[in-house]
Structure 1
Amino acid sequence: MHLSKLILFTCFLFYLDIATGQQIKIIAESNENTSIRALSCAGKNVVWATGSNGQIAKTLDGGRHWEWITVKDFANRDFRSIYAINANEAIIAAVGEPAVILKTNDGGKEWKIVWQNNTPGMFLDALFFTNAKHGWVVGDPIHNQQPFLAFTNNGGNNWQIKTDNIPILLKGEAFFAASNSNLFVWKDQFEPWMITGGTASVLYTPVKAYPLPLLQGNATEGANSMDCYKHTCIVVGGNFMHDTIAKGNAVVIETKPHIQLIVPKQLPNGYRSCVKHIKNNTWICCGTSGVDISNDNGMHWKKISSASFHTIAVSQNNNIFLAGNKGRIAQLNLK
């Protein structure tokens, strides 16, 4: 592959509107009209990003300098999923047909196709890895209204399609490839949890399905993102065509002693495409109409910015990165 351009940012470009106590600063922008839908941190300082136009971005120093890469022969593809193993190794998945998963072992110079499927209707939505070896990929239903699921046990070099214990979705029920976060796998479990939207919005666990109290019924509504920490999971979504509607856009899931679905007392301020745990009881979510934070495990949310972002990643040392349209990557400083 070739490097289409190198853009090294040695200074922060500008600050976005913020609430008192938080600072969101843009630290990178692509010259391409690129929509970034996935971020992944490896350790403290390595962050990879991916999106449309075959674009990949990478920083090795916690966001001070960024390298922009166009994946050779894939300049017209939309990569909405990424998992960063380290500074040299990363795995990406392209939506649409043919569905492909690629891996690099040399920092993005060369990318190898490790899995490909030409089945009409294939659409890969998200990747999730519990460690450098074990990961999953999920895609929209293609046969008998069953989602596509495949897993790897060797760092993404080979993939095996899951054929048993696959739920049957309603017609029009699928996944949103909004932020690479509709899939979650607990480290002590093998099979994933999944959230859907559209005709219905449901949490699927390996044991049981739980209808979610979110906006649903239309193609633009439902759950978009899920993250979990200890005994708490938070799901966010809403209606991305009406992104300022602050209802039916979040649910807190307590997993112990049994699964309970709890509607927050104060919801996020609009449609939200991504949610991430930061530390302790603090969580963050973002969407096209702003960024919210919760300091009580998702029961109350406060808007801290009106800036538009699609996805979030949190590094090992709790640095918070956000990304969205026009190749824009930002860092959030919580004071």
Structure 2
Amino acid sequence: MAACAAALAALTAVPAQAHGPEHRPPHWELKDTGTPQARFRGLAAVSRNTAWVAGTGGTVLRTTDGGRSWRDVSPPGAGELQFRDVEGFDARRAVVLAIGEGEASRVYRTDDGGATWTESFRNPDPKAFYDCLAFFDRRNGLAMSDPVDGRFRILSTGDGGRTWKVLPERGMPAAQEGEAGFAASGQCLVTAGTGDVWLATGGAARARVLHSSDRGRTWTATDSPLPAGDPARGVFALAFRDRTHGLAVGGDFRPGRPSPQAAARSSDSGRTWRPAAAPPPAYRSGVAWLPHSRTAALAVGPTGTDLTADAGRTWRTVDTGSYDTVDCAPDHGCWAAGEQGRVARLEH
């Protein structure tokens, strides 16, 4: 089951031309979505064949044939919404999050492959702005909002996204001045196992990672070494391959701005973070572990894709295409998505 990870790891040691035309190394293969006007920051890799993407203009697409064809399953009347996250449980069931102030933040759910949608949450608080959602399993999930009255707000569901409730704020540490989440890739809130969840922050003096081991009821905050001190800098995405080992990527999202120390790793559930010895060369907005690998992961951003073969200690650029988010399924189906309707699947 580690064949894909091993092949990707070989990229760090073997020049691409050495593989020959008949044996190309693993690479992104673009899939024509027919929607060049959309930017897809929401992505759910169900398998090599099935994936969901969600983006601007209220757009939601689904493929069940490996990207050869895409069905536009956008919720009716959602054209003014900005979808930034999607969680796909299978080819029929998915939950999507729209971001924005007040009522612009909404959650929709489908049980029939997007043929019909139910709006299950509309944010009633003008001070809240929801960024990301994540599920522990098919029933239990969370969504997070930027701080309201000085604390991040957590929304919880126990029925697969059909109903939602705001969790008490007493277990949430105080936010820093200007601190917020980044709705850049649907990965500012991630889970591992049955109860662990992490929240990525930026925009303040310190870029932090918050961790909860009880499904969002109580949290602890840890500083990360990623760029901070500006509204455009921070931790943009997290990935945990289990409840202990995690990766963080980010930087400064403004084009052309340097992003030193744009990646870090943790081996203690996010209690401490160590900067990568050789980080990605620029801002990265998405990150994903390769399935069934303890050491291989991909990070993506507007200027390229980077691979680590040593659990985040060092990264090497392997593609220069623009992507905002990346996700992998257990059957080694890895997908990336981004601007101008770009969606790609990792071929190997």
The normalised TM-score by structure 1 is: 0.89
Q: Provide the C-alpha distance between the structure 1 equivalents of 2:42 and 2:173, rounded to a whole number of angstroms.
A: 26
What is the Cα deviation at residue 32 of structure 1? Answer: 4.8
Residues 127 and 136, structure 1, Cα contact 8 Å, conserved in 2: yes
What is the Cα deviation at residue 43 of structure 1? Answer: 4.3
- Whether 1:272 aligns to 2:281 is no
* TM alignment of 1:212-227, pairs within 5 A: 212-227=224-239
Residues 270 and 289, structure 1, Cα contact 8 Å, conserved in 2: yes
| 1:264–1:247 distance in 2 versus 1, CA, 3 Å | same
* TM alignment of 1:79-98, pairs within 5 A: 79-96=83-100, 97-98=102-103
Richer in strand (by share): 1
| 1:23–1:41 distance in 2 versus 1, CA, 3 Å | closer
Q: Provide the C-alpha distance between the structure 2 equivalents of 1:255 and 1:31, rounded to a whole number of angstroms.
A: 41
What is the Cα deviation at residue 105 of structure 1? Answer: 1.5
Q: Provide the C-alpha distance between the structure 2 equivalents of 1:161 and 1:192, rounded to a whole number of angstroms.
A: 16
- Whether 1:327 aligns to 2:341 is yes
Partner of 2:253: 240
What is the Cα deviation at residue 88 of structure 1? Answer: 1.4
Residues 201 and 214, structure 1, Cα contact 8 Å, conserved in 2: yes
Q: Provide the C-alpha distance between the structure 1 equivalents of 2:257 and 2:296, rounded to a whole number of angstroms.
A: 23
1:151-209 per-position Cα deviation (integer Å, ceiling 9, x unaligned): 111111111211130221112110000000011223142x5221100113111123531
- Whether 1:110 aligns to 2:123 is no
Which one of the candidate residues 256, 259, 266 is aligned to 1:253?
266
What is the Cα deviation at residue 247 of structure 1? Answer: 0.8
Partner of 1:312: 326
Q: 1:111 corresponds to which letter in structure 2?
A: W
Which one of the candidate residues 152, 166, 185 is aligned to 2:157?
152
Residues 141 and 158, structure 2, Cα contact 8 Å, conserved in 1: yes
Partner of 1:38: 42
Q: 1:135 corresponds to which letter in structure 2?
A: G
Identical aligned residues as a percent: 25
Residues 137 and 194, structure 2, Cα contact 8 Å, conserved in 1: no
What is the Cα deviation at residue 241 of structure 1? Answer: 0.3
Which one of the candidate residues 184, 198, 202 is aligned to 2:208?
202
1:277-329 per-position Cα deviation (integer Å, ceiling 9, x unaligned): 01311100000111000011011101011111000111221121111011110
Q: Provide the C-alpha distance between the structure 1 equivalents of 2:147 and 2:267, rounded to a whole number of angstroms.
A: 28
The normalised TM-score by structure 2 is: 0.86
- SS of the aligned residue for 1:53 comes to helix
Which one of the candidate residues 262, 287, 307 is aligned to 2:274?
262
1:199-225 per-position Cα deviation (integer Å, ceiling 9, x unaligned): 131111235311111110111000000
What is the Cα deviation at residue 84 of structure 1? Answer: 0.6
Q: 1:299 corresponds to which letter in structure 2?
A: R
What is the Cα deviation at residue 127 of structure 1? Answer: 1.0
Q: Provide the C-alpha distance between the structure 2 equivalents of 1:272 and 1:150, rounded to a whole number of angstroms.
A: 27
**Residue correspondences, number:** 313
Partner of 1:73: 77
Residues 144 and 154, structure 2, Cα contact 8 Å, conserved in 1: yes
Residues 82 and 180, structure 1, Cα contact 8 Å, conserved in 2: yes
Q: Provide the C-alpha distance between the structure 2 equivalents of 1:273 and 1:123, rounded to a whole number of angstroms.
A: 19
- Whether 1:63 aligns to 2:77 is no
